[in-house]
Chains A and B, each alone.
Chain A
Amino acid sequence: MLPNRYKGKLIVVEGIDGSGKSTQITLLSHWLRAQGYAVAFSEWNSSPLVRQTTRRGKKKAMFTPTTFSLIHATDFADRMESYILPLVKAGAVVCADRYAYTAFARDVARGASRNWVRNLYSFALRPSLTFYFRVPLDVAIGRILGGRDAIKYYEAGMDLGLSRNVEESFRIFQGRILDEYEAMAGEMGFHMIDATLSIEEQQRRMRQIVVDALGEVLRTGVLRTAQKGSDGIATAAAVL
């Protein structure tokens, strides 16, 4: 991944489905915005250029592990080239719900080689902070099954023929993804968040890490609106 030599910052959340990472990055981005920072948000799999192709492939179950991996990399590349990179260069804080690590975990769980997938994403900007929401498989699965009617075909890894039962396949597949996340956590410098804690406690820890790690650079580099009576970065405690 490319080192971030720009004024802006990139904050990333990772974790398996049901880990609560989307809730947390949404709260964090609102908090940063409330401080006056220029904040942008980028979700996995959301490039307008690639969306139709991904949708077609999923609807008709056309993907192999290789094309599944490549189309997500294409989607990521478009967001990187036309959205994330220009905004970070301009001095914004970009919050990303899932990043290249999702591919590192998921594509490898689908059978792609680790080196190939990592090379594929080598054009990615290295995040300033990556939060990993660590959750036991059963807790995550309980949240997913409680909240939605049906697990989607590729989410459950049904294309891999792990089991004919969707729930069983989902369990096996998410378990593999979890193992991959755990294996790369140290190497990638993830900030671990215990995703079984209360939402408020997780958010408090996230904000503290942001302040500790980025407080100084946020004060001096990042774009923000002028705030009367404010002399720099708020502390996590002051906001909560």
Chain B
Amino acid sequence: MESRQPLQFYSEPLPGVDTSELHGKLIVIEGPDAVGRSTQVRQLKQWLEQEGHAVLDTGMARSALAGKGIQEAKKGNTLGPITMTLFYTTDFADRLENEIIPALRAGFVVLIDRYIFSIMARAIARGEDRKWIEQVAGFALAPHAVYYLRARVKDLVSRVVLGRGAFDYWESGMDLRFGDDKFQSFVRYQRRLIQALDSMASAYNFTIVDATQPAEAIFRELQRHVSALPFEKVDGAGARRRGKRPTVRGTGE
């Protein structure tokens, strides 16, 4: 994946941000629910830190401003699709301006579990206009890399059933009243989400990673991709390993 230097906003530059000051790396992990993103983010963070990089990791609904509000709103049954989209966009903007951009200025590797693409996919899966949400989210920075963990719905189903043991209301798109029960609704909703993510892949330069592989294999593939990004290397342990095939060992798993 080619790196864009410096980082650029998609369509709406945020006032007061000079992108030439953003020296860090912006890496995004995308993918549907239950595909195993957070495991990968955790391992990537540990590995990158061992390589000597300062890492900030962040993900949806974790902003100081809107995180709590979103959790509260999801407890009820009145959160409409446009409201949800904009609430998550507010949350994203707060993290972008107050966490992500300052970290990039300071030279961090910023590792993001779901970016605007999940917000967009959810909106599109709910029938909202693609152009509308693309422009609304246009103040996002185009990441150096977006790794799309791709799986089929049936892989997600088995992960949910074997892993969590129950279908979540929102992950099943129950607000859309897609099916008689959470399983049916999950299948239809996640299929739409995957279609929406697939449809963004080329326009937004996703690197597609086959998420039906075992977690260790996914991690090795992600390591290979990340290693190919033009990082400044730290002399020492990380440097000695350079050129060798990266392994999962030493990630503290």
* Contacts from A to B (Cβ < 8 Å): 47, 49-50, 52-53, 56-57, 62-67, 70-71, 73-74, 77-78, 80-82, 111, 113, 115-116, 119-120, 122-123
Contacts and interface: CB of A to CB of B under 8 A. Distances in A.
Contacts of A56: 65, 68-69
Given A64-B93, A77-B83, A53 B66 contact: yes
Contact of B65 (A57, A65, A80, A123): A57
Interface of B: 12, 14-15, 64-66, 68-69, 72-73, 76, 78-83, 85-87, 89-90, 93-94, 97-98, 128-129, 132, 135-136, 138-139
Given A50-B87, A74-B83, A64 B97 contact: yes
A22 B98 CA distance: 35
B65 A62 contact: yes
B69 A82 contact: no
A81 B132 CA distance: 16
A56 B90 CA distance: 13
Contacts of A67: 65, 90, 93-94, 97
Prevailing SS type, chain B contact patch: helix
5 contacts: A52-B68, A53-B87, A78-B80, A81-B80, A123-B132
Contact of B69 (A50, A65, A77, A81): A50
Contacts of B81: 81
Contact of B15 (A52, A57, A65, A70): A65
Contacts, number: 93
Which 3 residue pairs of A and B lie closest in terms of their CB atoms, listed nearest first?
A81-B80, A53-B69, A70-B90
Contacts of A113: 12
B138 A77 contact: no
A115 B138 CA distance: 11
A116 B138 contact: yes
B132 A119 contact: yes
Contact of B73 (A49, A65, A80, A115): A49
A105 to B, nearest CB: 17
Given A49-B79, A73-B86, A81-B80, A66 B14 contact: yes
B80 to A, nearest CB: 3
B68 A81 contact: no
A119 B132 CA distance: 6
Nearest to A66: B93
A52 B72 contact: yes
Contacts of A63: 65
A122 B123 CA distance: 14
Nearest to B81: A81
B97 A81 contact: no
A57 B64 CA distance: 9
Contacts of B139: 66, 116
Contact of B136 (A62, A65, A111, A119): A119
A232 B139 CA distance: 51
A78 B83 contact: yes
A81 B83 contact: yes
A80 to B, nearest CB: 7
Contact of B94 (A62, A77, A122): A62
B198 to A, nearest CB: 25
A123 B85 CA distance: 12
B136 A53 contact: no
